Structure 1
Amino acid sequence: MHTRRWTAGLLAVVAAVGLVGCTSKSQEKSCTTSPEGVIECAPEQRSAPPKIAGELLTGGAYDVSQARGQVVVVNFWGSWCAPCRAEADDLEATYQATKASGVTFLGINVQDSKDKAIAFEEGRVSYPSLFDPPSRLALALDIPPNTIPATVVLDRDGRVAAVIRAAVKQAGLQPIVERVAAEQPAAGSR
């Protein structure tokens, strides 16, 4: 009897995890994927805004919902990640080039120690980063980043507009950010 309950419970968990996977896959399938692997979703294809909040590396709390009305570029990174080091200058350059257009950036540091993360960021980027050692914040996204580094562009309504599952270069990222920044927010979203 005890074995049946345990088995039923295990099957329920597996089914729930499977449904979550299907949900994000179906969201991803409704979007377009470029030959470079950039996933872009048209405004009518975007799901509800993800809940992304936590502790900043430098202390204090941050909730991405506070940035509604701005495009938010979210970059998942780790100090141990060579491609993350390679893309840092391009991320900062894109941030500086687009911030006057109502664009902000947010890093999410994963699988790292706080000291190493702070040392990595110092002098490299001027935007804040959340500290998420267990990588839980990625689970809030309908289209999960799945890799480190990864960059997610949220529209002015906080919805996922693009996902890049590789290191970025300014030449590739900035046009995506500018396209999303040029969109009008959904009616009644502010």
Structure 2
Amino acid sequence: MLGAVLQTRAPAPPHGVIVAERGDIVPAMRLLTVDGAATGIPKAWAGRTTLVNLWASWCAPCLKEMPELEAFAREQGANGTQVVGIALDDAASAQAMLQRLRIAYPNLVDAPGPADAGVRLGNPAGVLPYTVLVSAEGRVLKTRIGPFESRQDIADWTQH
């Protein structure tokens, strides 16, 4: 319900920007890793269920949940749900925070704005943290606005 309320107050995305909804294929995007390498999504995630967490270095609830996401990612290993972060931030700030928090799961960077990765992944209100569960086939399974409270909270949410 919170998602519906936030979407009603969100400005319309710019003309031509595809906003994925539940069941839709994630729109193709090219984002950079924090190290500057170009990555095509959702192609980079093909074949594995992926938890995509949008965050920023200035977002306290984002930073609080990231160690739990890291622990979840380690538990999942090479065959479980993969975790990918997308920082709506500048690369230097994102990289510094990832190092400080010792986050090893892959992270991409996008400039915040009306057509950023968060908007395209179904969050036109820009509320962070925002998480999307993407199927192995690249479809949006579910979304979540707000932080996870624990590793168990993450595990429960990823059951689809």
Q: What band does the TM-score fall into relative to the shorter chain?
A: 0.7 to 0.9
Higher RCO, Cα 8 Å, sep 6+ = 2
Asked whether the equivalents of residues 71 and 104 of structure 1 are also in contact (C-alpha less than 8 Å), the reply is yes
How is 1:35-50 mapped onto 2 (pairs within 5 angstroms)? 46-50=23-27
**In the alignment, does 2:111 pair up with 1:130?**
no
TM-score, length basis structure 1: 0.65
Q: Whose radius of gyration is greater, 1 or 2?
A: 1
Tell me: CA distance 1:60–1:47, structure 2 relative to 1, closer, same or farther (3 Å).
same
Which whole-Å CA distance do the structure 2 matches of 1:89 and 1:70 have between them? Answer: 22
Question: Equivalents in 1 of 2:60, 2:81: separation in Å?
Answer: 26
Q: 1:139 aligns with which of 108, 119, 143?
A: 119
Q: Distance in 1 between matches of 2:58 and 2:130?
A: 14
State the 1:24 CA deviation.
Answer: 6.2
TM-score (norm 2): 0.76
- In structure 2, the gaps of 5 or more residues are 1-11
5+ residue gaps, structure 1, are 1-16, 28-40, 181-190
Between the aligned partners of 1:126 and 1:145, the Cα distance in structure 2 is 28
Q: For 1:76 and 1:84, locate their aligned partners in 2 and report how far apart those are by CA, in whole Å.
A: 8
In structure 1, distance between residues paired with 2:70 and 2:83: 9
Deviations 1:135-156 (A, max 9, x none): 4112322x32731111111011
* Equivalent residue runs for 1:169-184 within 5 Å: 169-177=150-158, 179-180=159-160
1:109 equivalent in alignment to 2:90: no
Out of 89, 96, 121, the position equivalent to 1:119 is 96
- What is the aligned counterpart of 1:156 among 117, 136, 159? 136
Superposed CA RMSD:
2.4
CA gap 1:102/1:52 in 2 versus in 1, 3 angstroms? farther
Question: Which moved further from structure 2: 60-69 or 157-166?
Answer: 60-69
Aligned to 2:33: 56
**Which amino acid counterpart does residue 113 of structure 1 have in structure 2?**
D
User: Partner residue of 1:94?
Assistant: 72
| Aligned partner of residue 101 in structure 1, secondary structure | coil
For residue 77 of structure 2, give the secondary structure of its aligned residue in structure 1.
helix
Distance in 2 (CA, whole Å) between partners of 1:144 and 1:102 is 25
* 1:134 Cα offset (Å): 2.4
Q: Hey, what does 1:76 align to over in structure 2? A: 54
Aligned length: 140
Residues in 2 aligned to 1:114 and 1:60: alpha-carbon distance in whole angstroms: 11
Cα separation, 1, equivalents of 2:86 and 2:137: 20
**Cα distance in 2 for residues equivalent to 1:67 and 1:108:** 13
Percent of residue pairs identical: 27
